Amino acid sequence: METIKKTITIALAGNPNSGKTTVFNSLTGSRQHVGNYPGVTVEKKEGYRDHKGYRVRVVDLPGTYSLTAYSIEELIARHFVVEEKPDVVVDILDATNLERNLYLAVQFMELGARLVLALNMSDLAKVRGYEVDREKLSVLLGCPVVPTVATKGEGMSGLLDAAIAQMNETHNLPSVTVKYGWEIEEEIARLSSLLEKCDELASNHSPRWLAIKLLENDTEVREQVRRQCGNSDEILDAVRRSTQHLETVFGDAPEIVIADRRYGFISGACRESVRSTGQSRYDMSERIDSVLTNRIIGLPLFIGLMYLVFQFTFTLGAPLMELLEKLFALMGNVISSLWPAESESALKSLLVDGVIGGVGSVLSFLPNIMFLFLAIAILEDSGYMARAAFIMDRIMHKVGLHGKSFIPMLLAFGCTVPAIMATRTLEHRTDRLTTILVTPLISCGARLTIYAMMIPAFFPLAWRARVLWILYIIGILLALLSAKLIRVTVLRGESTPFVMELPPYRMPTVRGVAIHTWERACMYVKKAGTIILAVSVILWALTSYPKSKELEKEFDREMARVQRLLVSNGDTGGEAAIQEKLDQLQREKEAQMLAHSAAGRIGRFLEPALRPLGFDWRIGTAFLGAFAAKEVFVAQMGIVFSIGDAETSHRSLRQKLHENYSRLTGFCVMLFAMIATPCVATVAVTRREAGSWKWAIFQFGGLTVMAYILTLLVHQIGLLLS
Amino acid sequence: MSAEEKESSAGPPMPLSLARAGSRVRLVCVRAGRGLARRLADMGFVPGDEIQVVSNGVPGPLVVLVKGSRLVLGRGMAEKILVK
């Protein structure tokens, strides 16, 4: 048994697509914790591993190309290194593309971090004919370079050895600084000497780094100088003069020249230490891309692939979903049986109808959602998702968004909540907000349950699939139109610039795909466990209270009478009929109680407003339930029509619907359910991801108004035509 | 490919958005605000660097090869990049 001497912190950095996540998973295994960086919604993953007497805490920094103040991710990576001072920064490099990947490494060097470089995918690099002289590279860069193959877990302990050695400074490497040429160095020296006088700032940052950042026009460092330095006017004035001077010398802004020099330094280091046979890392990808991103067949192939994804999701998910539904029903029965059969205990009703009914109905979607996430994780890890964004860019551009926004929208077919969380990959706030706002219009898995119940009630067999497609397409078109509308009104502005890397295609690993799927599924379960639980309880209360003593007594009397009949009537033939009558009474009682409850009253109160849409109070009451989770609509309709357990008697509910409403009303209900009132989980996640209630309320109100107007139009025009 | 190279390296600078698929061009400058120009420089778009245009279908984004990576560039962005 080793005794743990000390906990050390390693920050994992790297470009997107460098295999950073895979390294993190290899290092920490299942000992991970996912949280958020304070104050922002960027995910922060941490994990632990014991190594040679050290407890190593591994913090996964966001994947970035640089360390500017340009995006939240880059700022977070920078802040973490500056403020939390990890013992070592391990920068994961894609060994098949060192030039680009070293750009970030150089910036960590400048930041003064103790750096270890991991040459990841070094097996692939070898196959592609790259030979890296690691000794030479580490001397040129002044930090240890370790080969790794994270997909196979190779090189992890070597990486940790190097990190510990780097922390204890037991290596013999020269200290290296990137030089920017005498013109720029002169300005750096001038600014550094001014910055050294500013104790508060200089205690935490190297003056050279601050000087470079000021020349690069880094908004955050400028702000820090302004706040923390007594001589801030003098410094900023000097920065202005230096910038002007450099602009006249180079004919380009200093930050461009600095970036150029950094790349120059890197390419010098690579020339001396990397030998390549000149084979492109895109050889294989090129062939695949010539088909998959082809201008003519790219889009049809993408649509076909999406069709397969949905087919896969629903075919595999359906039996498991049924199983889960049965399981929750069983749980309900078991809990019910703790009370005597005729007990009217409020606690029993709360547990069975409120908690299990609400949370269970959401959790029973878990299989479908898991399969959808699994398919998406495979598409992401293989590199296809970036291509899908590329293919969709032309269409998305027309509505003022770009291709990247399409990926969250795709997730929304499963569930809106993870879709909104996935907008984190969008760099610009306008893009992100627009995408968040329109995402609920994409029909999620829960709305599919509503369609699945309603369509067969009103449409002949031949029409059913078509109506379903029409609904999905209306949703997609509305999302695109609303995005356009938002981009020309509340979030006006030019469409934002768009650069995205197309990584080479890679074979996804089982482990990577499993972890991605699992993480997303956990978010979904967490949502069910918290918000939906709370709202289910509230809605349960709304539908159960106030109770009416008279109604209850009246029904009890009637039931007692029928019961007596049952007892006195000895023959078995009448028994079934009487039992039937009893059940009927029980259901009618439930329906009348619901009508009497707060939810029923709200439904009645709203009825005048809902009339023009063709809805009555019963539909209104059921829509109240849909706010908890869309599929609750089905269960609520079951109760108002006193069908009893709606899940098992879809057929009789459909019969009732058919008798009570026209086909037009049926369609309007689906239309309204699709657009209106995003579920409570969506509201909560929008509030969190958009950063304020303002946007969540705007989304909620906007969608509800849109639903009302469109449904009103459809219903009124439909009435005129028929 | 070498004929292509010669052909596109002659003449005055033009926006990258006009470069033909398959051609190799050199970056002259980026005409954009400081933030965007900086961002592009970070992604490897520095003056004098070779850009290989992998695909350029109008309308829609371009795919270019810069510093060993394929990047998708929005058309608006490509209009701001001057090349020779």
Q: And the tokens for B2?
A: 């070498």
The answer to whether B40 faces chain A, any CB pair under 8 Å, is yes
What phi and psi values does residue B63 have, to the nearest 5 degrees? -115, 125
**Does a cis peptide bond (omega within 30 degrees of 0) precede residue A86?**
no
Domain boundary among A136, A168, A200: A168
Mark yes or no for CB contact B37/A255 under 8 Å. Answer: yes
ipTM more than 0.90?
no
| Residues A114 and A76 both lie in one domain | yes
Residue A59 lies in domain: 6-168
Domain boundary among A226, A245, A276: A276
- Give the C-alpha separation, A229 to A201, whole Å: 7
Q: And the tokens for A155?
A: 């090189």
Mark yes or no for CB contact A389/B72 under 8 Å. Answer: yes
Q: Which is nearest to A91 in space by CA: A138, A52, A31?
A: A138
The pLDDT of A186-196, averaged and rounded, is: 92
Predicted confidence band of residue B7 (pLDDT cuts 50, 70, 90): very low
Side chain identity at residue B36, one-letter code:
L
User: Would you state the pLDDT for residue A55?
Assistant: 92
Least confident piece of the model among A39-43, A53-57, A476-480, A603-607: A39-43
Domain boundary among A241, A276, A311: A276
- Give the C-alpha separation, B20 to B14, whole Å: 11
Mark yes or no for CB contact B61/A393 under 8 Å. Answer: yes
Boundaries of every domain in chain B: 2-83
First to last CA, chain A: 83
Residue A537, Cβ neighbours under 10 Å: how many? 16
B73: β partners: A499, B62
- Give the C-alpha separation, A89 to A118, whole Å: 11
pLDDT tens profile A498-523: 788 888 888 888 888 888 888 878 87
Which CATH number does the domain housing residue A195 bear?
1.10.287.1770
Q: And the tokens for A537?
A: 């309880």
Q: And the tokens for A190?
A: 């001038």
Predicted confidence band of residue A629 (pLDDT cuts 50, 70, 90): confident
Domain presence at residue A644: no
pLDDT tens profile A225-257: 999 888 889 999 999 999 999 999 988 889 999
Contacts of residue A260 in chain B, CB cutoff 8 Å? 41, 46-48
Domain presence at residue A155: yes
Mark yes or no for CB contact B38/A253 under 8 Å. Answer: yes
The answer to whether B44 faces chain A, any CB pair under 8 Å, is yes
Q: Does residue A395 carry a pLDDT above 70? A: yes
The pLDDT of B36-59, averaged and rounded, is: 87
Smallest Cβ distance to B74: which of A103, A386, A402? A402
As a 3-state breakdown, chain A gives helix, strand, coil percent values, each rounded to 5, of 70, 10, 25
| Residues A55 and A195 both lie in one domain | no
What domain count does chain A have?
A: 2
User: Would you state the pLDDT for residue A571?
Assistant: 56
- Give the C-alpha separation, A687 to A695, whole Å: 7
pLDDT tens profile A124-163: 888 888 888 999 999 999 999 999 998 888 999 999 999 9
Q: And the tokens for A426?
A: 């969008």
Q: Which is nearest to A256 in space by CA: A290, A224, A226, A217?
A: A217
Do the beta carbons of residue A293 and residue A391 sit within 8 Å? yes
Mark yes or no for CB contact B76/A282 under 8 Å. Answer: no
| Residues A103 and A241 both lie in one domain | no
Residues 6+ apart with CB under 8 A from A489: none
- SS3 of residue A128 by DSSP: coil
Contacts of residue B37 in chain A, CB cutoff 8 Å? 253, 255-256
CATH of B2-83, one of 2.40.50.180, 1.10.287.70, 2.30.30.90, 1.10.1520.10: 2.30.30.90
The pLDDT of A623-647, averaged and rounded, is: 71
Q: Does residue A42 carry a pLDDT above 70? A: no
Closest residue of chain B to A383, computed from CA coordinates: B70
Domain presence at residue A203: yes
| Residues A17 and A162 both lie in one domain | yes
- Give the C-alpha separation, A500 to A96, whole Å: 18
